[in-house]
Structure 1
Amino acid sequence: MAHVWEEYKQMVADGKSESEAMDDVGLKRYCCRRMYVGHLDLIEEVAPFSAARN
């Protein structure tokens, strides 16, 4: 699933609906689609507080 995240994110940023983008990257099953629908992309906000950076 992670291998299509960036492509999916770019499609949504370009104006494609989330549903269409998931179809286009091959996420057909509801169990896979829920992972994207419920995901909050917080890495940029959390990364500065990472223990690895200290």
Structure 2
Amino acid sequence: MIPVRCLSCGKVVSAYFEEYQKRTEEGEDPKKVLDELGISRYCCRRMFIAHVEVW
């Protein structure tokens, strides 16, 4: 599970994770997806790129 908020700045990031995951699994570039979702801060981008499913 991805945290609800960014650990550094507090922005809500969990609302965008399913869309990000779906689009990257389809082969889209992660940078392009994050740009289109409006995730611009490097601390928030790290939350998506470095996330590993624990299940």
Superposed pair shares fold, TM > 0.5: yes
Equivalence map 1:25-40=2 (5 Å): 25-40=37-52
Identity of aligned residues (%): 33
| Runs of 4+ off more than 3 Å | none
Give the number of aligned pairs: 43
Task: State which structure, 1 or 2, has the greater radius of gyration over its C-alpha atoms.
Answer: 1
Distance 2:49 2:27 in 1: 16
Question: Pick from 5, 19, 23: which aligns with 1:11?
Answer: 23
Q: What is the TM-score when the length of structure 2 is the normalising length?
A: 0.69
Deviation at 1:14, TM superposition (A): 1.3
The alignment yields a C-alpha RMSD, in angstroms, of 1.0
When you count helix as a share of all residues, which structure comes out higher?
A: 1
Deviations 1:12-44 (A, max 9, x none): 0111011111111111111110111111022xx
